[in-house]
Structure 1
Amino acid sequence: MSTTYDFTGRVALITGSSSGIGAATALLLAKSGANVVITGRIAENVNKICKECTEVSPKGLKALPVVADVTKEEDVDRLLDTTIKTFGKLDILVNNAGFGGFSQISDAEYLKSQKAVFDTNLNSVIYLTHKSIQYLEKTKGNIINISSIAGIQSGKGISAYCMSKAAMDMFTKCIAVDLGSKGIRVNSVNPGSVRTNIMRNITLTEEQMKAGFESISSKYPVGRGSARDWTLQTLLPIWPVTKLIL
Protein backbone atom coordinates (compact mmCIF):
# COMPACT_ATOMS: atom_id res chain seq x y z
CA MET A 1 0.00 0.00 0.00
CA SER A 2 1.28 3.45 -0.89
CA THR A 3 -0.20 6.71 0.27
CA THR A 4 -0.01 10.07 -1.43
CA TYR A 5 -0.94 13.38 0.14
CA ASP A 6 -2.48 16.21 -1.82
CA PHE A 7 -1.70 19.63 -0.34
CA THR A 8 -2.41 21.57 -3.50
CA GLY A 9 -3.33 25.14 -2.64
CA ARG A 10 -2.11 24.87 0.95
CA VAL A 11 0.48 27.24 2.42
CA ALA A 12 2.84 25.75 5.01
CA LEU A 13 5.27 27.65 7.20
CA ILE A 14 7.91 25.45 8.81
CA THR A 15 10.35 26.99 11.28
CA GLY A 16 13.85 25.57 11.44
CA SER A 17 13.32 24.18 7.95
CA SER A 18 16.81 24.75 6.55
CA SER A 19 17.99 21.37 7.88
CA GLY A 20 16.98 18.18 9.67
CA ILE A 21 13.37 17.33 10.46
CA GLY A 22 12.19 20.75 9.30
CA ALA A 23 13.82 20.35 5.89
CA ALA A 24 12.45 16.82 5.49
CA THR A 25 8.98 18.08 6.38
CA ALA A 26 9.21 20.97 3.92
CA LEU A 27 10.40 18.69 1.10
CA LEU A 28 7.57 16.24 1.61
CA LEU A 29 4.98 19.01 1.73
CA ALA A 30 6.43 20.57 -1.42
CA LYS A 31 6.36 17.17 -3.12
CA SER A 32 2.70 16.93 -2.11
CA GLY A 33 1.86 20.20 -3.86
CA ALA A 34 2.01 22.76 -1.04
CA ASN A 35 3.51 26.22 -1.13
CA VAL A 36 6.22 26.10 1.53
CA VAL A 37 8.03 28.79 3.49
CA ILE A 38 11.61 27.88 4.38
CA THR A 39 13.25 29.69 7.26
CA GLY A 40 16.44 29.49 9.28
CA ARG A 41 19.33 31.67 10.38
CA ILE A 42 21.82 30.77 7.63
CA ALA A 43 20.93 32.09 4.18
CA GLU A 44 22.96 29.48 2.30
CA ASN A 45 21.08 26.61 3.98
CA VAL A 46 17.70 28.29 3.52
CA ASN A 47 18.30 28.82 -0.20
CA LYS A 48 19.54 25.26 -0.64
CA ILE A 49 16.36 23.72 0.77
CA CYS A 50 14.22 26.20 -1.17
CA LYS A 51 15.84 25.01 -4.40
CA GLU A 52 15.27 21.37 -3.47
CA CYS A 53 11.61 22.05 -2.61
CA THR A 54 11.04 23.79 -5.92
CA GLU A 55 12.62 20.86 -7.77
CA VAL A 56 10.32 18.26 -6.16
CA SER A 57 7.15 20.37 -6.44
CA PRO A 58 4.81 18.77 -9.02
CA LYS A 59 4.05 22.19 -10.53
CA GLY A 60 7.46 23.73 -9.86
CA LEU A 61 6.12 26.03 -7.16
CA LYS A 62 8.87 28.25 -5.82
CA ALA A 63 9.49 27.90 -2.11
CA LEU A 64 9.69 31.15 -0.18
CA PRO A 65 13.03 31.77 1.59
CA VAL A 66 13.01 33.91 4.73
CA VAL A 67 16.21 34.22 6.77
CA ALA A 68 15.13 34.76 10.36
CA ASP A 69 15.99 34.08 13.99
CA VAL A 70 12.86 32.88 15.78
CA THR A 71 14.14 34.19 19.12
CA LYS A 72 13.77 37.75 17.80
CA GLU A 73 10.21 39.04 17.74
CA GLU A 74 10.94 41.43 14.87
CA ASP A 75 12.21 38.52 12.78
CA VAL A 76 9.12 36.44 13.57
CA ASP A 77 6.87 39.36 12.62
CA ARG A 78 8.74 39.74 9.33
CA LEU A 79 8.54 36.00 8.69
CA LEU A 80 4.78 35.93 9.11
CA ASP A 81 4.19 39.21 7.25
CA THR A 82 6.27 38.00 4.29
CA THR A 83 4.32 34.73 4.19
CA ILE A 84 0.95 36.50 4.11
CA LYS A 85 2.07 39.14 1.60
CA THR A 86 3.41 36.44 -0.72
CA PHE A 87 0.67 33.83 -0.50
CA GLY A 88 -2.26 35.69 1.04
CA LYS A 89 -2.95 33.07 3.70
CA LEU A 90 -1.58 30.42 6.05
CA ASP A 91 -2.91 26.86 6.29
CA ILE A 92 -0.24 24.94 8.20
CA LEU A 93 2.17 26.11 10.89
CA VAL A 94 4.92 23.71 11.90
CA ASN A 95 6.81 24.90 14.98
CA ASN A 96 9.98 22.90 14.49
CA ALA A 97 12.94 25.17 15.30
CA GLY A 98 14.80 23.72 18.25
CA PHE A 99 17.98 24.15 20.21
CA GLY A 100 19.70 21.82 22.65
CA GLY A 101 22.70 21.93 24.94
CA PHE A 102 24.34 20.07 27.77
CA SER A 103 24.30 21.87 31.11
CA GLN A 104 23.62 20.75 34.67
CA ILE A 105 21.91 22.85 37.34
CA SER A 106 25.17 23.16 39.27
CA ASP A 107 27.06 24.67 36.30
CA ALA A 108 27.95 28.35 36.48
CA GLU A 109 26.43 29.03 33.05
CA TYR A 110 23.24 27.01 33.62
CA LEU A 111 20.82 29.93 33.82
CA LYS A 112 22.20 31.46 30.63
CA SER A 113 21.94 28.13 28.84
CA GLN A 114 18.42 27.49 30.16
CA LYS A 115 17.21 30.88 28.91
CA ALA A 116 18.68 30.29 25.44
CA VAL A 117 16.95 26.90 25.16
CA PHE A 118 13.60 28.27 26.36
CA ASP A 119 13.77 31.28 24.03
CA THR A 120 14.11 28.99 21.00
CA ASN A 121 12.11 25.91 21.97
CA LEU A 122 9.20 27.47 23.82
CA ASN A 123 8.92 31.26 23.81
CA SER A 124 9.30 31.54 20.04
CA VAL A 125 6.59 28.92 19.57
CA ILE A 126 4.19 30.78 21.82
CA TYR A 127 4.87 34.09 20.07
CA LEU A 128 4.52 32.78 16.49
CA THR A 129 1.45 30.75 17.35
CA HIS A 130 -0.22 33.77 18.95
CA LYS A 131 0.51 35.91 15.90
CA SER A 132 -0.68 33.23 13.45
CA ILE A 133 -4.11 32.56 14.94
CA GLN A 134 -5.85 35.32 12.98
CA TYR A 135 -4.74 33.69 9.71
CA LEU A 136 -5.24 30.06 10.70
CA GLU A 137 -8.78 30.79 11.84
CA LYS A 138 -9.65 31.96 8.32
CA THR A 139 -8.34 28.76 6.71
CA LYS A 140 -9.39 26.37 9.50
CA GLY A 141 -5.74 25.47 9.60
CA ASN A 142 -3.43 23.21 11.54
CA ILE A 143 -0.61 23.70 14.02
CA ILE A 144 2.01 20.99 14.48
CA ASN A 145 4.48 21.39 17.34
CA ILE A 146 7.63 19.30 17.08
CA SER A 147 8.33 18.25 20.64
CA SER A 148 10.62 15.41 21.76
CA ILE A 149 10.74 12.19 23.72
CA ALA A 150 12.73 14.37 26.15
CA GLY A 151 9.46 16.05 27.04
CA ILE A 152 8.30 12.89 28.79
CA GLN A 153 11.62 11.29 29.73
CA SER A 154 14.41 12.91 31.72
CA GLY A 155 18.08 12.85 30.80
CA LYS A 156 21.32 13.81 32.51
CA GLY A 157 22.61 17.25 31.64
CA ILE A 158 19.64 18.18 29.45
CA SER A 159 17.12 19.44 32.00
CA ALA A 160 16.57 22.73 30.16
CA TYR A 161 15.78 20.90 26.92
CA CYS A 162 13.50 18.41 28.70
CA MET A 163 11.61 21.18 30.48
CA SER A 164 11.15 23.19 27.29
CA LYS A 165 9.66 20.18 25.48
CA ALA A 166 7.46 19.20 28.42
CA ALA A 167 6.12 22.76 28.46
CA MET A 168 5.53 22.57 24.69
CA ASP A 169 3.46 19.43 25.16
CA MET A 170 1.26 21.11 27.75
CA PHE A 171 1.05 24.26 25.63
CA THR A 172 -0.17 22.08 22.76
CA LYS A 173 -2.86 20.45 24.90
CA CYS A 174 -4.07 23.78 26.24
CA ILE A 175 -4.26 25.64 22.94
CA ALA A 176 -5.90 22.64 21.27
CA VAL A 177 -8.78 23.27 23.68
CA ASP A 178 -8.63 27.04 23.21
CA LEU A 179 -8.52 26.94 19.41
CA GLY A 180 -10.82 24.02 18.68
CA SER A 181 -13.85 26.28 18.59
CA LYS A 182 -12.08 28.37 15.93
CA GLY A 183 -11.66 25.33 13.72
CA ILE A 184 -7.91 25.16 14.27
CA ARG A 185 -6.48 21.73 15.02
CA VAL A 186 -3.36 21.49 17.18
CA ASN A 187 -1.08 18.48 17.66
CA SER A 188 2.42 17.73 18.82
CA VAL A 189 4.72 14.83 18.06
CA ASN A 190 7.54 13.50 20.25
CA PRO A 191 10.30 12.01 18.09
CA GLY A 192 13.20 10.11 19.56
CA SER A 193 16.76 10.53 18.35
CA VAL A 194 16.94 11.58 14.70
CA ARG A 195 20.22 11.94 12.79
CA THR A 196 20.23 15.68 12.11
CA ASN A 197 22.67 18.54 12.66
CA ILE A 198 21.36 19.44 16.10
CA MET A 199 24.15 17.56 17.87
CA ARG A 200 26.78 19.06 15.58
CA ASN A 201 25.38 22.48 16.37
CA ILE A 202 26.16 21.96 20.06
CA THR A 203 29.86 21.40 19.33
CA LEU A 204 30.09 17.61 19.43
CA THR A 205 32.69 16.00 17.17
CA GLU A 206 31.75 13.59 14.38
CA GLU A 207 33.09 10.71 16.49
CA GLN A 208 31.06 11.77 19.52
CA MET A 209 27.91 12.11 17.42
CA LYS A 210 28.41 8.71 15.80
CA ALA A 211 28.95 7.05 19.15
CA GLY A 212 25.93 8.81 20.64
CA PHE A 213 23.60 7.85 17.81
CA GLU A 214 24.80 4.26 17.82
CA SER A 215 24.24 4.01 21.56
CA ILE A 216 20.73 5.44 21.29
CA SER A 217 19.81 3.43 18.18
CA SER A 218 20.70 0.18 19.91
CA LYS A 219 17.88 0.83 22.37
CA TYR A 220 15.24 1.34 19.65
CA PRO A 221 13.25 -1.62 18.28
CA VAL A 222 14.05 -0.63 14.67
CA GLY A 223 17.65 0.21 15.52
CA ARG A 224 17.84 3.47 13.60
CA GLY A 225 16.47 6.98 13.16
CA SER A 226 15.94 8.94 9.95
CA ALA A 227 14.57 12.45 9.43
CA ARG A 228 12.77 11.47 6.23
CA ASP A 229 11.34 8.19 7.53
CA TRP A 230 10.21 9.81 10.75
CA THR A 231 8.50 12.67 8.92
CA LEU A 232 6.71 10.40 6.48
CA GLN A 233 5.47 7.88 9.01
CA THR A 234 4.74 10.09 12.01
CA LEU A 235 4.04 13.68 11.03
CA LEU A 236 1.89 13.56 7.90
CA PRO A 237 -0.86 11.26 9.25
CA ILE A 238 -1.81 14.06 11.64
CA TRP A 239 -2.74 16.36 8.77
CA PRO A 240 -5.90 15.95 6.69
CA VAL A 241 -5.43 13.29 4.03
CA THR A 242 -7.27 14.40 0.92
CA LYS A 243 -6.17 11.66 -1.47
CA LEU A 244 -5.36 8.01 -0.88
CA ILE A 245 -3.96 5.54 -3.38
CA LEU A 246 -4.25 1.94 -2.20
Structure 2
Amino acid sequence: MRERLDCAVLSTPEAYEWASSWIGCHAGGRLYIQALDGQPDSARLDSCRALADAAMHLRRYDVCLVPVSESNLAWVRTALQAAQTVLQTPVMALVRQLKAAALNDLYTLGLADFVRDPICPEELRVRIEQLLDERRYPVRDSPASALRETQAPYPVGVRPDETPQEKALCATILGRSGHELEAYAIATASRCATSKESFRAAKSKVVERFERAYIAAALGRHSGNIAMAARAAQKHRRAFWALMRKHEIDAAPYRTESPPPLRAPDG
Protein backbone atom coordinates (compact mmCIF):
# COMPACT_ATOMS: atom_id res chain seq x y z
CA MET A 1 0.00 0.00 0.00
CA ARG A 2 1.37 3.41 -0.95
CA GLU A 3 1.98 5.91 1.81
CA ARG A 4 0.67 8.80 -0.28
CA LEU A 5 -1.41 9.20 -3.43
CA ASP A 6 -1.30 12.47 -5.38
CA CYS A 7 -4.33 13.36 -7.49
CA ALA A 8 -4.76 16.26 -9.90
CA VAL A 9 -8.19 17.74 -10.65
CA LEU A 10 -8.90 19.03 -14.14
CA SER A 11 -12.34 20.57 -14.35
CA THR A 12 -14.49 23.00 -16.25
CA PRO A 13 -15.93 25.91 -14.21
CA GLU A 14 -19.48 24.53 -13.98
CA ALA A 15 -18.29 21.23 -12.47
CA TYR A 16 -15.57 22.77 -10.33
CA GLU A 17 -18.21 24.56 -8.29
CA TRP A 18 -19.30 21.29 -6.65
CA ALA A 19 -16.02 19.37 -6.92
CA SER A 20 -13.79 22.01 -5.32
CA SER A 21 -14.82 20.97 -1.80
CA TRP A 22 -12.70 17.84 -2.23
CA ILE A 23 -9.47 19.76 -2.81
CA GLY A 24 -7.09 19.08 0.08
CA CYS A 25 -5.66 16.28 2.21
CA HIS A 26 -7.74 13.19 3.06
CA ALA A 27 -7.52 9.69 4.54
CA GLY A 28 -5.08 10.67 7.27
CA GLY A 29 -2.58 12.23 4.88
CA ARG A 30 -2.56 9.31 2.44
CA LEU A 31 -4.61 11.06 -0.25
CA TYR A 32 -3.81 14.51 -1.64
CA ILE A 33 -6.15 16.18 -4.14
CA GLN A 34 -5.14 19.43 -5.79
CA ALA A 35 -6.41 21.47 -8.71
CA LEU A 36 -4.25 21.97 -11.78
CA ASP A 37 -3.34 25.53 -12.63
CA GLY A 38 -5.38 27.04 -15.43
CA GLN A 39 -8.67 25.14 -15.34
CA PRO A 40 -10.14 24.97 -18.87
CA ASP A 41 -13.02 27.17 -20.01
CA SER A 42 -15.51 24.91 -21.76
CA ALA A 43 -16.88 27.89 -23.69
CA ARG A 44 -13.66 28.05 -25.70
CA LEU A 45 -13.33 25.66 -28.62
CA ASP A 46 -9.66 24.96 -27.99
CA SER A 47 -10.30 24.02 -24.33
CA CYS A 48 -11.00 20.41 -25.34
CA ARG A 49 -7.23 20.03 -25.81
CA ALA A 50 -6.64 20.79 -22.12
CA LEU A 51 -6.28 17.17 -21.05
CA ALA A 52 -3.92 16.35 -23.91
CA ASP A 53 -1.88 19.53 -23.33
CA ALA A 54 -1.49 18.65 -19.65
CA ALA A 55 -0.24 15.10 -20.38
CA MET A 56 3.41 15.77 -19.48
CA HIS A 57 2.54 17.70 -16.32
CA LEU A 58 0.14 14.95 -15.20
CA ARG A 59 2.93 12.36 -15.13
CA ARG A 60 3.92 13.59 -11.68
CA TYR A 61 0.49 12.54 -10.35
CA ASP A 62 -0.88 9.08 -9.67
CA VAL A 63 -4.24 9.87 -11.25
CA CYS A 64 -6.15 12.71 -12.90
CA LEU A 65 -9.63 13.35 -11.50
CA VAL A 66 -12.18 14.88 -13.87
CA PRO A 67 -15.55 16.00 -12.42
CA VAL A 68 -18.37 15.03 -14.78
CA SER A 69 -22.07 15.90 -14.83
CA GLU A 70 -24.64 16.48 -17.55
CA SER A 71 -23.49 20.11 -17.82
CA ASN A 72 -19.97 19.24 -19.03
CA LEU A 73 -20.40 15.68 -20.34
CA ALA A 74 -19.90 16.67 -23.98
CA TRP A 75 -16.71 18.53 -23.10
CA VAL A 76 -15.29 15.55 -21.19
CA ARG A 77 -16.07 13.22 -24.11
CA THR A 78 -14.13 15.43 -26.51
CA ALA A 79 -11.26 15.97 -24.07
CA LEU A 80 -10.81 12.23 -23.50
CA GLN A 81 -10.90 11.53 -27.21
CA ALA A 82 -8.26 14.21 -27.91
CA ALA A 83 -5.95 12.84 -25.20
CA GLN A 84 -6.16 9.12 -26.02
CA THR A 85 -2.83 8.89 -27.84
CA VAL A 86 -0.72 11.08 -25.53
CA LEU A 87 -2.05 10.63 -21.99
CA GLN A 88 -0.27 8.12 -19.73
CA THR A 89 -1.79 9.10 -16.39
CA PRO A 90 -5.05 7.25 -15.68
CA VAL A 91 -8.20 9.39 -15.66
CA MET A 92 -10.94 8.86 -13.07
CA ALA A 93 -14.29 10.62 -13.22
CA LEU A 94 -15.95 12.24 -10.21
CA VAL A 95 -19.53 11.65 -11.27
CA ARG A 96 -22.66 13.57 -10.33
CA GLN A 97 -26.09 12.41 -11.59
CA LEU A 98 -24.79 10.61 -14.66
CA LYS A 99 -26.51 7.63 -16.28
CA ALA A 100 -24.88 4.28 -17.01
CA ALA A 101 -25.01 4.80 -20.78
CA ALA A 102 -22.93 7.97 -20.45
CA LEU A 103 -20.39 6.16 -18.27
CA ASN A 104 -20.07 3.33 -20.76
CA ASP A 105 -19.42 5.90 -23.46
CA LEU A 106 -16.65 7.50 -21.38
CA TYR A 107 -15.05 4.08 -20.81
CA THR A 108 -14.77 3.56 -24.56
CA LEU A 109 -12.94 6.91 -24.79
CA GLY A 110 -10.31 5.96 -22.23
CA LEU A 111 -11.83 6.57 -18.79
CA ALA A 112 -10.14 4.25 -16.28
CA ASP A 113 -12.69 4.31 -13.45
CA PHE A 114 -15.21 6.52 -11.63
CA VAL A 115 -16.59 7.37 -8.19
CA ARG A 116 -19.89 9.06 -7.49
CA ASP A 117 -20.48 12.30 -5.63
CA PRO A 118 -20.51 12.59 -2.62
CA ILE A 119 -17.08 11.02 -2.48
CA CYS A 120 -15.87 8.73 0.28
CA PRO A 121 -12.11 9.47 0.56
CA GLU A 122 -11.31 5.93 1.72
CA GLU A 123 -13.20 4.43 -1.22
CA LEU A 124 -11.43 6.77 -3.63
CA ARG A 125 -8.05 5.82 -2.18
CA VAL A 126 -8.79 2.10 -2.45
CA ARG A 127 -10.00 2.39 -6.03
CA ILE A 128 -6.93 4.40 -7.06
CA GLU A 129 -4.65 1.76 -5.55
CA GLN A 130 -6.54 -0.99 -7.37
CA LEU A 131 -6.29 0.94 -10.61
CA LEU A 132 -2.54 1.56 -10.28
CA ASP A 133 -1.87 -2.09 -9.45
CA GLU A 134 -3.88 -3.24 -12.45
CA ARG A 135 -1.85 -0.94 -14.71
CA ARG A 136 1.42 -2.06 -13.15
CA TYR A 137 0.56 -5.75 -13.45
CA PRO A 138 -1.54 -6.34 -16.59
CA VAL A 139 -3.53 -9.56 -16.47
CA ARG A 140 -1.30 -11.38 -18.93
CA ASP A 141 1.90 -10.46 -17.03
CA SER A 142 0.64 -10.45 -13.45
CA PRO A 143 2.01 -12.66 -10.68
CA ALA A 144 -1.53 -14.00 -10.40
CA SER A 145 -1.41 -15.12 -14.03
CA ALA A 146 1.86 -16.93 -13.41
CA LEU A 147 0.32 -18.71 -10.40
CA ARG A 148 -2.55 -19.89 -12.55
CA GLU A 149 -0.19 -21.49 -15.03
CA THR A 150 2.38 -23.05 -12.69
CA GLN A 151 0.71 -23.92 -9.40
CA ALA A 152 -2.18 -26.10 -8.25
CA PRO A 153 -3.68 -26.03 -5.75
CA TYR A 154 -3.27 -22.31 -5.04
CA PRO A 155 -1.03 -21.05 -2.22
CA VAL A 156 -2.71 -20.43 1.12
CA GLY A 157 -5.14 -17.53 0.95
CA VAL A 158 -4.33 -16.71 -2.70
CA ARG A 159 -6.40 -16.94 -5.87
CA PRO A 160 -5.05 -16.09 -9.34
CA ASP A 161 -7.63 -13.39 -10.12
CA GLU A 162 -6.60 -11.16 -7.18
CA THR A 163 -4.73 -7.93 -7.84
CA PRO A 164 -1.54 -7.17 -5.84
CA GLN A 165 -3.50 -4.57 -3.84
CA GLU A 166 -6.13 -7.17 -2.94
CA LYS A 167 -3.42 -9.59 -1.81
CA ALA A 168 -1.83 -6.90 0.36
CA LEU A 169 -5.18 -6.13 1.99
CA CYS A 170 -5.96 -9.81 2.55
CA ALA A 171 -2.55 -10.41 4.13
CA THR A 172 -3.16 -7.68 6.73
CA ILE A 173 -6.93 -8.06 7.14
CA LEU A 174 -6.82 -8.61 10.92
CA GLY A 175 -5.11 -5.25 11.37
CA ARG A 176 -7.49 -3.27 9.15
CA SER A 177 -10.07 -0.89 10.54
CA GLY A 178 -13.75 -1.44 9.87
CA HIS A 179 -13.78 1.75 7.80
CA GLU A 180 -11.02 0.45 5.52
CA LEU A 181 -12.75 -2.88 5.01
CA GLU A 182 -16.04 -1.13 4.29
CA ALA A 183 -14.37 1.13 1.71
CA TYR A 184 -12.81 -1.89 0.03
CA ALA A 185 -16.16 -3.70 -0.07
CA ILE A 186 -17.85 -0.62 -1.55
CA ALA A 187 -15.16 -0.28 -4.21
CA THR A 188 -15.42 -3.95 -5.17
CA ALA A 189 -19.23 -3.87 -5.24
CA SER A 190 -19.23 -0.72 -7.38
CA ARG A 191 -16.92 -2.35 -9.90
CA CYS A 192 -19.11 -5.44 -10.09
CA ALA A 193 -22.26 -3.31 -10.48
CA THR A 194 -20.88 -1.76 -13.68
CA SER A 195 -20.02 -5.19 -15.11
CA LYS A 196 -22.32 -7.97 -16.29
CA GLU A 197 -22.15 -9.85 -12.98
CA SER A 198 -25.38 -10.42 -11.12
CA PHE A 199 -25.94 -9.16 -7.59
CA ARG A 200 -25.72 -12.70 -6.28
CA ALA A 201 -22.42 -13.42 -8.06
CA ALA A 202 -20.87 -10.12 -6.95
CA LYS A 203 -21.91 -10.63 -3.32
CA SER A 204 -20.63 -14.18 -3.36
CA LYS A 205 -17.23 -13.00 -4.62
CA VAL A 206 -16.85 -10.38 -1.89
CA VAL A 207 -17.92 -12.77 0.89
CA GLU A 208 -15.70 -15.57 -0.41
CA ARG A 209 -12.60 -13.38 -0.48
CA PHE A 210 -13.28 -12.04 3.00
CA GLU A 211 -13.71 -15.54 4.42
CA ARG A 212 -10.56 -16.83 2.76
CA ALA A 213 -8.44 -13.87 3.85
CA TYR A 214 -9.73 -13.92 7.43
CA ILE A 215 -9.20 -17.66 7.91
CA ALA A 216 -5.69 -17.50 6.45
CA ALA A 217 -4.78 -14.48 8.59
CA ALA A 218 -6.17 -16.09 11.76
CA LEU A 219 -4.11 -19.24 11.15
CA GLY A 220 -1.04 -17.11 10.56
CA ARG A 221 -1.52 -15.22 13.81
CA HIS A 222 -1.85 -18.48 15.78
CA SER A 223 0.93 -20.43 14.05
CA GLY A 224 -1.47 -22.85 12.39
CA ASN A 225 -3.24 -23.86 15.60
CA ILE A 226 -6.80 -24.44 14.40
CA ALA A 227 -8.37 -24.52 17.86
CA MET A 228 -6.78 -21.20 18.89
CA ALA A 229 -7.61 -19.54 15.57
CA ALA A 230 -11.23 -20.68 15.81
CA ARG A 231 -11.50 -19.46 19.39
CA ALA A 232 -10.10 -16.04 18.46
CA ALA A 233 -12.57 -15.83 15.56
CA GLN A 234 -15.40 -16.83 17.94
CA LYS A 235 -16.38 -19.75 15.71
CA HIS A 236 -16.89 -23.40 16.58
CA ARG A 237 -13.82 -25.45 15.71
CA ARG A 238 -15.73 -27.64 13.23
CA ALA A 239 -17.23 -24.59 11.52
CA PHE A 240 -13.76 -23.03 11.26
CA TRP A 241 -12.36 -26.24 9.82
CA ALA A 242 -15.26 -26.40 7.34
CA LEU A 243 -14.30 -22.94 6.05
CA MET A 244 -10.70 -24.10 5.71
CA ARG A 245 -11.83 -27.05 3.62
CA LYS A 246 -14.19 -24.87 1.57
CA HIS A 247 -11.34 -22.52 0.60
CA GLU A 248 -8.67 -25.25 0.35
CA ILE A 249 -6.57 -23.74 3.15
CA ASP A 250 -4.11 -26.02 4.94
CA ALA A 251 -2.78 -25.07 8.37
CA ALA A 252 0.55 -26.85 7.82
CA PRO A 253 2.39 -23.96 6.09
CA TYR A 254 1.75 -21.80 9.16
CA ARG A 255 3.38 -24.24 11.56
CA THR A 256 7.08 -24.44 12.38
CA GLU A 257 7.03 -28.17 11.75
CA SER A 258 4.57 -29.62 9.28
CA PRO A 259 2.24 -32.16 10.98
CA PRO A 260 0.41 -35.02 9.25
CA PRO A 261 -2.24 -34.07 6.63
CA LEU A 262 -5.27 -32.11 7.88
CA ARG A 263 -8.11 -34.17 9.34
CA ALA A 264 -11.49 -33.09 10.62
CA PRO A 265 -11.36 -32.33 14.37
CA ASP A 266 -13.47 -34.53 16.69
CA GLY A 267 -16.45 -33.21 18.56
User: How would you bin the TM-score normalised by the shorter chain?
Assistant: 0.3 to 0.5
Tell me which structure has the larger Cα radius of gyration. Answer: 2
TM-score if structure 2 supplies the norm length?
0.37
More relative contact order, 1 or 2 (CA 8 Å, 6+ apart): 1
TM-score if structure 1 supplies the norm length?
0.40
